Amino acid sequence: MKKAIWRAFPVIVFIAFASCNTSSTAVPISADVVNSREEVITMQVIVQVSADVASALHQRGTLTAKSKELVRIIEIFNLTLHPMHRDTDDPNLQSYFIVEVPDHATAQRVTDRLRRLEAVKAAYVKPPDELP
């Protein structure tokens, strides 16, 4: 019985390989992968704002002086501010926003400026994602 299995094994492997769908898509060499990855890596600054500013930024109210000041700082750096939790009605979750930044130096400058604002409760650079 064992001999029959061992004789059939190469045939099964051959059939398995032959039935695989292959494509002729070019695979980039490792240098291309590294270079392209560096171009898309961004860092995130997480910002928590006061409830009134969060409401204004979610367009549920008119922009206040505090929210305008926050938006002005983001625009100075030519960045954008996005709600972390777009479709929530929870006021605690509405207060969190994300700013995508191109590098660590910019992230530090942005957080330093944001922390000075009265509307900002917290601002920090999100650590890079990594496996545990």
Amino acid in position 101: V
Q: What is the pLDDT of residues 93-109, one digit of tens each?
A: 999 999 999 999 999 99
Choice between 127 and 15, residue whose per-residue pLDDT is larger: 127
Q: What is the pLDDT of residues 2-59, one digit of tens each?
A: 565 556 556 565 555 555 554 444 444 444 444 444 445 688 999 999 999 998 888 7
| Contact of 119 with 69, CB cutoff 8 Å | yes
Q: Which residue has the tokens 């995508």?
A: 100
pTM: 0.66
Fold exhibited by the domain 41-127: Alpha-Beta Plaits (3.30.70)
Enumerate the domain spans of the chain.
41-127
Q: What does the pLDDT read at residue 23?
A: 44
Pairwise CA distance, residues 47 & 111, whole Å: 8
**Given a cut of 60, is residue 111 above it in pLDDT?**
yes
